[in-house]
Structure 1
Amino acid sequence: MLYSLNGFHALITREELDPAHVEAMMRLRKRLFVDHCGWLLSTTGDVERDQFDCWYTEHCLLFSGVELVGGFRAIRTDYPYLTKSVFPQLAVLRFPSSREVWEISRFGVLSSAARPQAARVNYALMFRFAELRGAKALVALADLSYERFLTRMDIRTRRYGAPQVIGSDRTGRPLTALAGEIPLGLADNPGLTKFLDLGRQLEIHDATHVLGRSSIPA
């Protein structure tokens, strides 16, 4: 095992099943994306949420001990999702609409997280989530630094179109982003193996599992 998982564990849930934990994730999103990154997102008090936080949205939360340190939001692409609905101009071809392709958004970890490996564990959680759901690809809206970071981690991506300016942050700095996907077949993306191995060792409580509440063993 390349990274210690001591103290890390995760929760996969929906708002109807666990409103308290989902609200905690939305407070973390406000701290991370609005306060730290300066994104102009809709907030109410200390909570960031939008129209894609709804009944079909799955929220993945990463904890270090009792502290919520990161996570992401996942939406199956046969439902309305952020990248396709808000930024259709970013795809030269059609965006996917499939039960086997999921969009990942609001992905991140707090910079104050106690352990520097939290970001890698969050990626491991993302790919383990995809494996549990039988996904064949993950769609995301990303900036160029994120794309380069994935390349350094030996994760292959596929662009849907060229990068474009999609707005600005609260300081007026332009935000450039692109839409694309991570193919999940190991033949196409052998770099996933190390993250899948890590994710399979992560303790995950999957409250939205098809068989009901279940604990995925480490």
Structure 2
Amino acid sequence: MGFDGWLLDVRFDGDEAVLWLRTAEGEKVKLRDRYTPDFYAEPLGMAAAQLRDLLEEHDLVAGVSTARRRSSIREMAETEVVNIRVDEVGNYRALLDEVDRMPCVAATYDGDLEHELKYLCDRSLIPLGPVEVEADGRALRSIAPIPRTLDVEPPPIRLLAFALKLGSSRGEILTFDENLEQEDCHHRSRKLNQSHAHSSLLQTLPLIV
């Protein structure tokens, strides 16, 4: 399955990135993509190839290679570093901290980004930006940004506007979305009135969004 659309959101569920997209026809699509995060390590007192060989047998390392990159935005000269890909998202922080403490590592890079941001950066994706997508069922096969022009149409999304009123013993939801059924609004208001307004709001809010 292939389509053009817009990338609305990226969230992580374990080792999978969950992508929400809108097609050009306005259809909502949810896809999943297996993700193995990575970071860089600069060697100290040894060559990058030696550090690569030292790390490639680590149980949490899915892949390791050498690369050249700038150590900071202030440095124009490139240095040889090691790219380390972690086997699972859940092991990312533990391996990053372990490598950062190694006496043969001068510094680690790209380890402070949230996985959602890193996923977008690695694929040159822009939130709400147009994309070309290939999928096999609900599994993402490929996603690429469509080159932007000066004439960019916004994604086909609707705005749901609502207001929340809280009192000491009751809460009320006022919605301005004419597509929400009146009966559904009454049901949500009754749920808010069943207990303390603040705790009820926390229970009901996921139903609203």
Which structure's residues are more often strand, by fraction?
2
Q: Give TM-score scaled by structure 2 length.
A: 0.26
Ranked by relative contact order (alpha carbons within 8 Å, sequence separation 6 or more), the top structure is 1
Larger radius of gyration: 2
